């Protein structure tokens, strides 16, 4: 019986090809825009390092002055001072690992005169960064804790930077320069894709760093400091602190380092908070942390909590989702009209079959098979339209960035994976069945006598 109904459904699709094409187009066009937006949202809202993101905490301590305003949300809270960052690193806490980061820049160059110098953005951090964030290595490894302590002139390159400067070979042990400072390559990272670059609180997409260097070396070399400086208890203008004497900055109340701790489990988190609170109380005896405890805005937020807030503030994506839903709804309403016109042309045929003893359920099943086939066709065309829609949106993103971003870094955000393709077909089939319910009900409830009597 199934094969018979399937044969009738295919015959019906071929019988009115123009209406079938219109129906498939209505589903495909609406689905194409819908899946383009949903895929962008899906890819951008994925949590980086999701398998351990609940254990990776951004630590923000409130060292501000007494008359500083309350901070109602974590995103507006300042970063950490160097004093507190180095002190917490030295404390025996419940954290499995701790690290801090800031950004610097410079010209990367090698001895080969055929290789043009590369203006680069680099992350300055500690050895714990690589183990905490599970960075993949193609060659070599991260620097050791001893090298971190000594401020050795070592560098970890990204895969792309290594390909540019050394042709992609194993460059571990080779020397290069940041401006005029000579460093030794100690490791080359493999491709490291993060949906958002969370570790410096920029949450940017498609904007990877070129290299990573030890903070002790950066301080010893007095490399530029690209950070937001929030300064308290000082007469210095905070905007000047990127260029003041390093020793003055490191001993100041300026918050400018992004501090992270890996803490496994709620009990360890409470233990860690207790250690930090005790540390703050000890620092109060030195005149630091002047705000009353009940007025301090200290934050311990994991990656999940941060990205939930960041994604909720994406008004552009929210607007695009609304437009996509509305456009898809309009396409489905048009599909109802097309199906109604297509099915109502068969009233005489259906009435004759019912008069000969065909059950309503059999007729409904035949028409459901037909709309499922149409849904599959619409889904296939919709996936193709989604692919080109995503390519178009990626081109717009590249143009908006003045081509400062690279297409290969953006591809993961505009990529139709199998999860999205499967969702596209499910949505196509479900929506086609949904819009077909009324036309099928209409044709199955036409009185056979009224149609046969007219013959």
Rounded CA gap, 271 and 266, in Å? Answer: 9
Domain ranges of the chain: 2-47+314-453, 53-312
Mean pLDDT of 206-224: 91
Q: What is the phi-psi region of residue 181: left when phi exceeds 0, alpha when psi lies from -120 to 50, beta otherwise?
A: beta
Whole-number pLDDT of residue 280: 95
Per-residue confidence band for 411, with pLDDT thresholds at 50, 70 and 90? confident
Predicted local distance difference test score (pLDDT) of residue 371: 84
How far is the C-alpha of 149 from the C-alpha of 127, rounded, in Å? 9
How far, in Å, CA of 414 to CA of 39, rounded?
A: 7
Cα pseudo-dihedral 122, 127, 129, 135, rounded to 10: 80
Which one, of 171, 127, 120, lies nearest residue 151 by Cα?
127
Per-residue model confidence (pLDDT) at position 337: 82
Residue 122's pLDDT band, with cuts at 50, 70 and 90, is: very high
What pLDDT, on the 0 to 100 scale, is given for residue 312? 84
Query: Angle at the Cα of 146 (from 245 to 166), degrees rounded to 5?
Result: 85
Assess contact for 50 and 307: CB atoms under 8 A. Answer: no
The whole-number pLDDT of residue 235 equals 44
Sequence-distant (≥ 6) Cβ neighbours of residue 436 within 8 angstroms: 339, 367, 368, 371
CA distances from 253 to 118, 139, 218, 238 (A): 34, 39, 20, 10
Which of 82-96, 196-210, 211-225, 393-407 is predicted with the least confidence, judged by mean pLDDT? 393-407
pTM of structure: 0.83
Q: What tens digit of pLDDT does each residue of 99-112 get?
A: 999 999 999 999 88
Tens digit of each residue's pLDDT (9 = 90 or more) over 145-158: 999 999 999 999 99
Parallel, antiparallel, or unpaired for β 97-109 and 118-125?
antiparallel
Most confident of 121-130, 218-227, 308-317: 121-130
Q: For residues 332-353, give the mean pLDDT.
A: 74
Split at pLDDT 50, 70, 90, the class of 358 is low
Is residue 311 scored above 80 in pLDDT? yes
Q: What is the mean pLDDT of residues 348-366?
A: 66
Q: How confident is the model at residue 4 (pLDDT cuts 50, 70, 90)?
A: low
The residues, any chain, with a CB within 8 Å of residue 278's CB and separated by 6 or more, are: none
The pLDDT score that the predictor gives to residue 207 is: 80
Mean pLDDT calculated for residue range 422-431: 92
> pLDDT at residue 169 above 80?
yes
The residue with greater pLDDT, 358 or 388, is 388
């Amino acid at each position: 019986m199934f094969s018979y109904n399937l044969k009738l459904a295919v015959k019906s699709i071929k019988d009115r090809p123009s209406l079938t094409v219109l129906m498939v187009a209505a589903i495909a066009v609406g689905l194409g825009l819908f899946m383009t937006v949903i895929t962008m949202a899906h890819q951008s809202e994925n949590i980086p390092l999701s398998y351990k993101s609940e254990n990776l905490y951004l630590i923000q301590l409130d060292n501000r002055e007494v008359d500083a305003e309350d901070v109602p949300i974590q995103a507006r809270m300042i970063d950490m001072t160097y004093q507190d960052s180095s002190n917490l690193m030295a404390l025996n806490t419940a954290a499995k690992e701790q690290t801090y980061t800031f950004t610097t820049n410079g010209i990367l160059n090698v001895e080969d005169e055929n290789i043009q110098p590369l203006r680069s953005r680099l992350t300055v951090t500690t050895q714990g960064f690589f183990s905490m964030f599970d960075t993949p290595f193609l060659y070599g490894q991260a620097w050791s804790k001893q090298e971190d302590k000594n401020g050795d002139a070592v560098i970890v390159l990204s895969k792309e930077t290594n390909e540019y400067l050394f042709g992609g070979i194993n460059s571990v042990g080779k020397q290069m320069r940041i401006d005029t400072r000579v460093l030794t390559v100690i490791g080359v990272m493999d491709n490291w894709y993060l949906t958002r670059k969370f570790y410096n609180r920029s949450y940017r997409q498609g904007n990877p760093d070129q290299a990573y260097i030890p903070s002790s070396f950066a301080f010893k070399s007095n490399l530029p400091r690209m950070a937001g400086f929030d300064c308290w208890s000082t007469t210095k203008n905070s905007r000047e602190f990127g260029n003041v004497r390093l020793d003055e900055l490191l001993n100041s109340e300026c918050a400018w380092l992004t501090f992270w701790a890996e803490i496994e489990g709620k009990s360890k988190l409470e233990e860690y908070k207790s250690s930090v609170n005790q540390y703050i109380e000890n620092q109060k005896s030195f005149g630091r942390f002047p705000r009353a405890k009940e007025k301090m805005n200290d934050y311990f937020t994991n990656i999940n909590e941060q990205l939930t807030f960041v994604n909720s503030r994406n008004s552009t994506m929210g607007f695009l989702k609304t437009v996509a839903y509305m456009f898809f709804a309009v396409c489905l309403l048009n599909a109802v009209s097309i199906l109604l016109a297509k099915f109502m042309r068969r009233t005489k045929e259906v009435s004759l079959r019912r008069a000969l003893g065909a059950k309503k359920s059999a007729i409904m099943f035949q028409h459901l098979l037909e709309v499922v086939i149409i849904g599959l066709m619409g889904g296939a065309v919709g996936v193709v339209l989604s692919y080109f829609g995503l390519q178009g949106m990626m081109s717009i993103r590249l143009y908006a960035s003045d081509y400062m971003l690279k297409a290969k870094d953006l591809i993961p955000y505009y990529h139709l994976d199998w999860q999205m393709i499967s969702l596209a077909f499910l949505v196509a089939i479900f929506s086609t069945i949904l819009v077909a319910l009324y036309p099928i009900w209409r044709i199955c409830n036409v009185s056979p006598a009224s149609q046969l009597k007219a013959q």
